[in-house]
Amino acid sequence: MFAVLMITLLLTILLVGSNMDTILKQGVMFQVRAEIVENPSIAESFTDPEEFEAFIQQKIDERVKSLGLDTPWYSPQRVGLTMYKILILDFGNATFLTSDSGSSNIADILLEKIPRTILLFTTATIIISIIGIFLGAASSNKIGSKTDRFTSTFAIVSSSFPVWWIGMLMIFLFAFVYQIFPARATPSIGPEEPGYIFSLLYHMALPLITISLIGFGSWAYLVRNFMVGVLQEDFITAKKIMGIDKKKIVYKHALKNAAPPIVTILALSLSGSLGGAIITEAVFDWPGMGRLYFDAIGVMDLPVIIGSTYILTVLFLISIFVADLLYGYFDPRVRTKN
C-alpha cells in the first residue's frame, strides 16, 4: 500500500519535474531582473553594459543555487527531498492558484476543496447505492418482469453515456430552457454568510441529480447479477422449501449473502468517482478537487498538480483498503486466523 503511494508520487514527480524546473528558473530570472529595474541605483553604478549583464547573471546563479535548482531535478537528493516534504504533508505554495480565502498554501487550498468533492460524490454514491440495491433486489426477485427488463435496459443505455455530456444536457435543459437550477454550481455567496449551506445544497442539486441518474442503472444491474447468483444456491432453495416468504428470502437472506462483493464495489466506485470528478466538476463548475486539478493543469501550476495527485491517490488507496476490510467483515470465509 505504502509502496504504491511512493511509486505514484515518484511517477508524478518524474513526469512533471523537468517542466517544474524550467518554470522555476524562468521565475527566478524574472524576479532578479524586476528587482534590478526597481532599483535604478544599481544600474547607474555600472558603466559597461557587459559588466552589468554579468552582474545580473551572477545574481541569478546565486539565487538558483540557494533554491537548490543547480542540481538537475532528477538528482536523488532533490527527488528525495520533494518526496519527504510531501510525505509530511508540506506541499509548499502554489504558483498561481489560491484558495477562496486567498491563501496560496497548497495544504489550505486542498483542505478547502476536499470536503466539497467528498460531499458531492459521497452523497451521490449513497443515493445511487440505495436506489441500485433496492431496484436490483426487486428485479432479481422477478426475473423477466417489467422491473427487471427496465433495469437491464436502463443500465446498459445509461452506462454508455458520458456523465459530463449528460451534465451539459442537464445544464442546457434545467438551467437555461427551464430556469430551475443555477448553471454554475459554485455557490454565489461566501461561506461566512448565514444562507451558505442552503446555497451550497441548491447549487449541488443539478450535479447530484445527474450523477445519480447515470449511476444507479448499472448499480442495479450489478446487484441483480450478484443476487441471481446467490438465489441459485442450495440454501435458498432449502429456505423456499421450508416455506419462508419469498420477499423475506430475497431481502433478508440473499441480499446479506450478496453483500460482500456489493460493498467492495461500492467502496471502489466511490474512489473511482473521485478520479472522474475532474471532468464532472469541470462541467458543473463545482469548486472541488476535480476543478482545482483541471485549473492547475490549465495554468501548469505544478505544485498543485503534485499535491492533488497525491491526495487523490491517498483517497483511492484508502477506499481500496476499506473495501478489503469490509469484505473481510461481511464474508467471514476470507478472514485469516493469526
Partner 1 sequence: MSTDLAVDIKREFLKSKIGISGVLILLTLIVISIFALISIPSAEFQDWNNPEKWISYPKTSVPAWVNIFMFEKIPEHKIIQSENITNEEDGIFISSQQFRFNYAFDDFPNDFMYNFELNYTGSPLLEMTVIRPDGIKLELLNMSLPHSSESTSFKQTIFSTDSLLRKNLDFQSNIYEYEARNLGSTELIFSEKTDRRVLTGDYVFIMNAYNLETKNMFLDSNLIIGGKAFGVMGTDELRRDLAVGLLYGTPLALFIGISVSIGSVVAGLIYGVYSGYKGKKTDEVMMRFNDVIYALPALPFLIILAVTISNSIFLMIGFLMIFSWVGIAKVSRSISLQIKTRQYVEAAKIMGQKDSKIIFKHIIPQMLPYVFASIAISVPAAITTEAGLSFLGLGDPSFPTWGQILHDANTYGAAAQGFWWWIMPPGLLIAITGLAFVFIGNTLDTIINPKLKR
**Which residue ranges make up the site for partner 1 (CB under 8 A)?**
1, 3-4, 7-8, 11-12, 15-16, 19, 143, 156-157, 159-162, 164-166, 168-169, 171-172, 175-177, 183, 225, 228-229, 232, 271, 274-276, 278-279, 282-283, 293-294, 297-298, 300, 305, 308-309, 312-313, 316-317, 320
Rounded least distance, CB 101 to partner 1, Å: 25
Rounded least distance, CB 297 to partner 1, Å: 6
Of 140 and 212, which CB lies nearer to partner 1 in the complex structure? 140
Of 120 and 283, which CB lies nearer to partner 1 in the complex structure? 283
Q: How far apart are CA 73 and CA 63, in angstroms?
A: 16
Rounded least distance, CB 51 to partner 1, Å: 39
Of 38 and 176, which CB lies nearer to partner 1 in the complex structure? 176
Of 1 and 34, which CB lies nearer to partner 1 in the complex structure? 1
117-133 CB burial, b ≥16 within 10 A, e <16: bbbbbebbbebbbebbb
Of 48 and 177, which CB lies nearer to partner 1 in the complex structure? 177
Of 32 and 249, which CB lies nearer to partner 1 in the complex structure? 249
Among 68, 78, 89, 64, CA closest to 14: 78
Say if CB 21 and CB 69 are below 8 A apart: yes
Q: List phi, psi (to 5°) of 47.
A: -105, -35
Rounded least distance, CB 112 to partner 1, Å: 19
Of 82 and 271, which CB lies nearer to partner 1 in the complex structure? 271
Please state at what angle helix 49-66 crosses helix 2-38, rounded to 10 degrees. Answer: 150
What is the residue type of 183?
A: A
* β partners of residue 105: 93
Of 41 and 179, which CB lies nearer to partner 1 in the complex structure? 179
Q: How far apart are CA 291 and CA 295, in angstroms?
A: 6
* β partners of residue 93: 105
Rounded least distance, CB 15 to partner 1, Å: 5
Three cell numbers at 256?
446479506
C-alpha distances out from residue 291 to 86, 90, 110, 183, Å: 21, 22, 11, 15
Dihedral sign, CA of 113, 205, 294, 75?
positive
C-alpha distances out from residue 110 to 275, 287, 292, 311, Å: 15, 11, 9, 8
Rounded least distance, CB 334 to partner 1, Å: 15
Q: How far apart are CA 25 and CA 31, in angstroms?
A: 10
C-alpha distances out from residue 225 to 121, 185, 264, Å: 25, 36, 15
Rounded least distance, CB 175 to partner 1, Å: 7
Rounded least distance, CB 21 to partner 1, Å: 13
